[in-house]
Amino acid sequence: MSSPLIQSLIEAFQVLPGVGPKSAQRMAFYLLERNRNGASRLADVLRDAVQNVGHCESCRTLTEEKVCQICASNHRDATLLCVVESPADIAVIEASGAFNGKYFVLMGHLSPIDGIGPAELGLELLEARLDKEPIQELIVATNPTVEGEATAHYIQQLADKYSVTVSRPAQGIPVGGELEYLDSSTLSQAFLSRKQLL
């Protein structure tokens, strides 16, 4: 039987997606048996990140600053705005080199059954950006799931009030897939061949 502290550590690892009891136990014992320095560094960095990382006031991604580096950059195309579901999607798109505009992060998708509506996705902030910024094209890069498509449709209706072209990345993104699982060339092609929504 594990000690209460070890059991608590195993349970703590299970908050990570895809980590079940056995994987969590392996990680806990590995850190305690073989890499206590790594465990201490992990604990310090995790504590620091939790205390100091918040949301960008403009795009809502995760950052230590009030405004993230992408939003603050004068080298990005301010006429292009890409809407994504999570900060992880930005990391994937940036790694592909397919996009040089700015972003807006929904932090999820519409899901009435889970109580996630337009307010929870910050869509009033998105609308304020469409109203005030020189955005000419809104690329809705939500996942091609039922919820992602419903979210894209809602955003398209919202954008219809403004003189903004609304597009979606082209086919090539697997149905039910997430951006983080795509390779850079597939993602680049999807962005380059994006289709305007009518």
Overall domain count for the chain? 3
- Residue 168's φ and ψ, nearest 5 degrees, are -125, 145
The CA-based angle 157-76-132, given to 5 degrees, is 45
Question: What confidence score (pLDDT) does residue 174 get?
Answer: 43
Region 85-108 average pLDDT: 92
Instruction: Mark whether 159 and 179 lie in a shared domain.
Output: no
Are 22 and 86 part of one and the same domain? no
Single-letter amino acid, residue 147: E
Same domain, 111 and 156: yes
Q: At what angle do helices 21-34 and 36-52 cross, to 10 degrees?
A: 120
Interval 141-172: pLDDT, tens = 998 888 888 999 999 999 989 989 999 886 54
> Is residue 31 scored above 90 in pLDDT?
yes
- On the 0-12 / 13-18 / 19+ scale of CB atoms within 10 A, 109 is buried
- Residue 187: domain span: 173-198
Same domain, 83 and 158: yes
Give the lowest-confidence range in 2-11, 97-106, 140-149, 175-184: 175-184
Is 151 a domain residue? yes
**In CATH, what number is assigned to the domain containing residue 97?**
3.40.1360.10
Residue 20 predicted with pLDDT over 80? yes
Looking at the structure, tell me whether residues 142 and 83 fall in a common domain. Answer: yes
Q: Tell whether the model's pLDDT for residue 191 goes beyond 80.
A: no
**pLDDT tens, 9-18?**
999 999 999 9
| pTM across the whole model | 0.80
Start-to-end CA span in the chain (Å): 62
Q: Do 46 and 88 share a domain, yes or no?
A: no
Mean pLDDT of 168-187: 57
Strands 62-63 and 54-55: antiparallel
Neighbours of 143 (CB within 10 A): 23
Do residue 163 and residue 198 come from a single domain?
no
Percent of the chain predicted with pLDDT > 90: 66
